[in-house]
Structure 1
Amino acid sequence: MSLTLQQFNTLSQEKATSCLLTCCTSTSWAQEVANARPFTDIDALLTHSDEAWQQAQTTEANLLEAFDGHPQIGNVDSLKEKYRNTQDSAAHEQSGANDAEDDVIAALAQGNQDYLDKFGFIFIVFATGKSAQQMLDLLLARLPNDRATELVNAATEQNKITRLRLQKLLGAA
């Protein structure tokens, strides 16, 4: 679904919150952004989204609620689908996706499971334009961190994802 900013501004509170939850599944974030309408432009919306996300990060429960909105990429078949099926990929993502080797895919699946086991939430990263190898490198670099550090890292990545999804929702991406 794509909306204009004008359409978004005039949605009911319930419908606006519902649309926002497709961008980030933190209820407190979505309600805060919906409450702040109307926005004068996309930049004002993104700025308020960033501020609302900063507020949402004050509790771990809000972070975990947002992280739970992402599917876990935890098995080899789903990873192969993600990185090899270029039919649905954007052109700029295709070159890296075509090069995903079975050993990288297997290592990424294992790394995702190791991450979940260690931290209690899935590996969150802004994946747009990244190859399977780049994703694996990022995952392995973050795996030695402590949980508090990873909550911050994942929250930062979540905000990047949310911003892109908001832009797509409003046809600005």
Structure 2
Amino acid sequence: MDRVEAFNSRPTGQLETELLAVCAAPAWGRTVAAGRPYPSKAAVLAAADAAARGLSWPEVLQGLSAHPRIGERAEGASKEAAWSRREQSTAAGSGDEETRAALIAANHAYEDKFGHVFLIFASGRTQREILAAARERIGNDEPAERAVVAGELRKIALLRLERLLDALD
């Protein structure tokens, strides 16, 4: 059985639970699961992309709930914690103490302004790059930042969905 067939044949409850590890917005997982059967991996990813673009702001906030602060190590043995550690691995080891301290300060300033964690697609980015993005985004107004956050959540969800699909057999 190929990976898309395995995805399509998962019991709905099991698949929705697996999709919650990909994106903690239940509406996203329900929408992706309800679209089965998919003819290809590209079709699964396209449906997931569309579902992420359709999330309301409260649903995006649900998705954010599973993300640690950037630069903080996700704890636990869950799949999403492992993915978070992997996604932030370059950033975690790429900065000096001054950069780490500045990133912590930027996280707090961001949270004070927007009321939620700073979310960024961290895969392959250094701490300095993430810090620069955080500082830039603190200057956004609320509507602009909500659009950026929703886009970052979408990119993370699509990467994680690819990893989930690649692990199916």
**Residue deviations 1:11-46 (CA, integer Å, cap 9, x gap):** 111111111111101111110000001111110011
Identity of aligned residues (%): 31
1:69 partner amino acid = A
Unaligned residue ranges in structure 2 (runs of 5+)? 74-84
Look up the match of 1:103. Answer: 98
Residue identity matched to 2:42 = D
Q: Does 1:150 align with 2:145?
A: yes
CA distance in 2, matches of 1:45, 1:52: 10
Aligned residue number for residue 66 of structure 1: 63
Match of 1:36 in 2: 35
Is 1:130 aligned with 2:125? yes
Task: Tell me by how many angstroms 1:72 deviates.
Answer: 2.0
Cα distance in 1 between the residues matched to 2:5 and 2:125: 33
The alignment's C-alpha RMSD in Å is 2.1
What count of residue pairs does the alignment treat as equivalent? 154
What SS is found at the alignment partner of 1:170? helix
Q: What TM-score, normalized by structure 1, do the two folds share? A: 0.82
Aligned to 1:10: 9
TM-score calculated relative to the size of structure 2: 0.84
| Structure 1 match to 2:136 | 141
Aligned equivalents of 1:41, 1:133: Cα separation in 2: 38
Structure-1 separation of matches of 2:17 and 2:156: 17
